[in-house]
Chains A and B, each alone.
Chain A
């Protein structure tokens, strides 16, 4: 190899690839091995520790009658393993941009035809501009080079489905704030609140004034009984958008649960919404506060 992998090189140089450890295929388990390969890559390059064993990855992904794994369960299992799963915009350009950032991408390919589908997951590990090839851990071949024209044909049969799996401190190169928030929230509602909080916080580093992220983070802290932090982020949100009805409502509720009735009352009075469902929540909170606020340590 002539060129090293300096940080300023825009694309992995010719013949170079992301150092994703290769895992030999196990029958019908290419989703599990793909997750395993990416998990070991992140374990080697970041403080990330996988939550699931190889056996658990296998047991959670295989559907014996289908002889394979659905995209849904690949995503769900990656999350259960402590990784944020972000589905890419279905373009070749998005794939290259993630590779540039040293983010391996799991793609779904159809190795056959629509009338004779042979679906296969493979982690993409590099791109060779000179040879016009894509490098993948393809079945039993590490860093197999495939002509880009062929790759594109196989990939478009899955409508260019690809996903990056990242430790929650890391953001996809191609992330939009809305779609990233969704992926982070998917962690939270499938039981990985700590990981979700880390993800919201890293999102705020890129989008510090994004209202929705502040709201999600504050809610998360509230549900985790971290009241001081929750209050801090509701207030930060309200400093940007003072009339945000949902944030006012939740902050008022929090203040009431902390026994600060006057502040709670003053806050809920500012909340008003055109949406009847939201307004009915606001009304219920107001009623609750008027009944009296007693401090609660734990919910």
Chain B
């Protein structure tokens, strides 16, 4: 796929460029994890794969392909890896009312009551009694 190739070559060129220019420099990264201070090539490949996975997931989730590259680039290695591995369980903050359209009436009533009890805050118009 055209986009993935583009991303691949971009990341590779950045990786190679930084490596050749700064062969002897100990990175700031070393402060955070003594084990990965100087990443082995295997670790580099894992992180690289995570970014490729993130791009693929975003594509499958209907994200505008033109924004995927910059979205992946804006993540740190840890963020990309967490994204790739936990996408199914991570919460996505949103506006509540859209998600309520499909809710059954009893859930609607239940949440209305729990809103009034101050246990939830699904509806913008409710005021808790407690």
Contact = CB atoms under 8 A, between A and B. Distances in A.
Interface in B56-101: 58, 60-64, 67, 70-71, 73-77, 79, 82-83, 87, 90-96, 98-100
Interface in B19-67: 21-28, 30-32, 34, 37-38, 58, 60-64, 67
Interface of A: 25, 27-31, 59-60, 62-77, 79-80, 108-113, 116-121, 138-141, 146-147, 149-150, 153-154, 158, 181-182, 185-186, 188-191, 212, 215-216, 219-220, 222-223, 246, 249-250, 253, 275, 277-278, 280-281, 284-285, 288, 299
Contacts of B23: 284, 288
A71 B118 contact: no
Contacts, number: 181
Contacts of B82: 72
B30 A150 contact: no
Given A116-B107, A147-B118, A277 B75 contact: no
Contacts of A63: 58, 61-63, 92
A113 B24 contact: no
18 contacts: A30-B95, A63-B58, A64-B61, A70-B83, A71-B90, A76-B79, A80-B70, A116-B103, A118-B94, A118-B100, A138-B121, A153-B118, A158-B91, A190-B73, A219-B28, A275-B34, A278-B30, A284-B23
Given A60-B71, A250-B25, A288-B23, 4 more contacts: A67-B99, A119-B92, A147-B118, A153-B119
B28 A215 contact: yes
B93 A65 contact: no
Nearest to B91: A119
Contacts of B114: 113
A222 B61 contact: no
Interface of B: 21-28, 30-32, 34, 37-38, 58, 60-64, 67, 70-71, 73-77, 79, 82-83, 87, 90-96, 98-100, 103, 107, 111, 114, 118-122, 124, 128, 130
A117 to B, nearest CB: 7
A70 B76 contact: no
A67 B98 contact: yes
Contacts of A79: 74
A267 B128 CA distance: 67
Given A64-B63, A288-B24, A299-B21, A190 B90 contact: no
A190 B119 contact: no
Contacts of A246: 26, 30
A253 B124 contact: no
B110 to A, nearest CB: 9
Among A63, A75, A149, A220, which residue has the most Cβ atoms of chain B within 10 A?
A: A63
A285 B24 contact: yes
Per CB-CB distance, the 4 closest pairs between chain A and chain B, nearest first, are A68-B94, A68-B92, A65-B61, A66-B92
A30 B94 contact: yes
Contacts of A69: 92-94
A117 B90 CA distance: 11
A112 B111 contact: yes
Contacts of A70: 83, 87, 90-92
